[in-house]
């Protein structure tokens, strides 16, 4: 790791070395929806010591990363990985947390009114993510697989891949805003003194969703989507050349 990394975007750094996501998470640097910003600019905006950040990243880059290297996966395999890892996690975790959030708001909402707002934000987030995943699994990801498997331009019912991808990116940003609001309402997932075990488990679960969503969105915004658009453009370019 050298200081030239300050000129790379946060998303590029995590794409090449996924383990760096832990450092960015600790520093509260957005590497998913905000992954297109240069590290040096982010440090300046957040008032962080750029040299110290680089040192942290250097130490983390020597650690073995968990999971596959998404840059080495085919587009189809990357879609499968996202579905089998992140979508599967949310399909299990969102219903479990939904029941917990509802219970905690009912039991503790009078003493901690912000819990009512947490429930409201979570219900909206859950509904949005369930619809979002369905659109990816039934529309966008199949289109990406078709394009990768084809040697000629693919006619899609919605035009180019850029159209649904633009919608997905906007929904990612909306989900990110919802998660940031939940973090704010829960004081950074810090349980109050009178929190019961269910309350504490809820906070831990919400924190887990936020962490997983950062990785999930990063893989789509910064790796899958740009590669898919490039593949579609390559097919179109090859057809014109012929």
3-class DSSP state for residue 35?
A: coil
CA distance 224 to 145: 11
Residue-wise pLDDT tens digits, 154-213: 899 888 999 999 999 999 999 999 999 999 999 999 999 998 999 999 999 999 999 999
Beta bridge partners of 9: 38
The mean predicted confidence, pLDDT, of the chain is 90
| Phi, psi dihedrals of residue 186, rounded to the nearest 5° | -100, 10
Residue 149 confidence (pLDDT) above 80: yes
CA distance 71 to 129: 25
Residue 106 confidence (pLDDT) above 60: yes
DSSP per position, 127-184: HHHHHHHHHIIIIIHHHHHHHHH-SSPPP-TTSSTHHHHHHHHHHHHHHHHHHHHHHH
Tell whether pTM > 0.95: no
What is the pLDDT, as a whole number, of residue 178?
97
Among the four given CATH numbers 1.10.10, 1.10.3910, 1.20.1510, 1.20.1290, the one describing domain 3-61: 1.10.3910
Residue 239 confidence (pLDDT) above 80: no
The 10 Å Cβ neighbour count of residue 222 is 23
Both tokens of residue 93?
């975790």
| Phi, psi dihedrals of residue 109, rounded to the nearest 5° | -60, -30
| Phi, psi dihedrals of residue 2, rounded to the nearest 5° | -130, 170
Cβ atoms of residues 125 and 172 within 8 Å: no
| Phi, psi dihedrals of residue 9, rounded to the nearest 5° | -75, 155
What is the pLDDT, as a whole number, of residue 88?
96
Contacts for 33 with CB less than 8 Å, ≥ 6 apart: 169, 172, 173, 176, 217, 221
Domain boundaries, the chain: 3-61, 70-241
CA distance 215 to 176: 12
């Amino acid at each position: 790791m050298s200081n030239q990394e300050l000129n790379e975007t946060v998303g590029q750094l995590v794409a090449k070395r996924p383990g760096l996501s832990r450092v960015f998470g600790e520093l509260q640097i957005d590497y998913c929806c905000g992954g297109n910003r240069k590290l040096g600019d982010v440090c300046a905006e957040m008032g962080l010591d750029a040299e110290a950040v680089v040192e942290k990243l250097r130490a983390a880059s020597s650690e073995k990363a968990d999971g596959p290297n998404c840059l080495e996966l085919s587009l189809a395999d990357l879609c499968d990985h996202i579905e089998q890892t992140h979508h599967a996690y949310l399909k299990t975790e969102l219903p479990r947390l939904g029941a917990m959030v509802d219970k905690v708001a009912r039991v503790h909402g009078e003493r901690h009114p912000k819990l009512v707002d947490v429930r409201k934000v979570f219900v909206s987030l859950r509904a949005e993510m369930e619809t979002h995943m369905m659109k990816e699994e039934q529309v966008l990801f199949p289109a990406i697989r078709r394009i990768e498997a084809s040697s000629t331009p693919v006619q899609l019912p919605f035009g180019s891949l850029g159209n649904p991808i633009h919608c997905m990116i906007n929904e990612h940003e909306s989900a990110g805003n919802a998660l940031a609001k939940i973090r704010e309402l829960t004081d950074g997932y810090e349980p109050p003194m009178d929190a019961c075990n269910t309350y504490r488990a809820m906070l831990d679960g919400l924190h887990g969703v936020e962490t997983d969503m950062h990785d999930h969105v990063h893989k789509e915004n910064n790796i899958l989507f740009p590669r898919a658009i490039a593949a579609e453009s390559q097919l179109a370019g090859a057809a014109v050349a012929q």
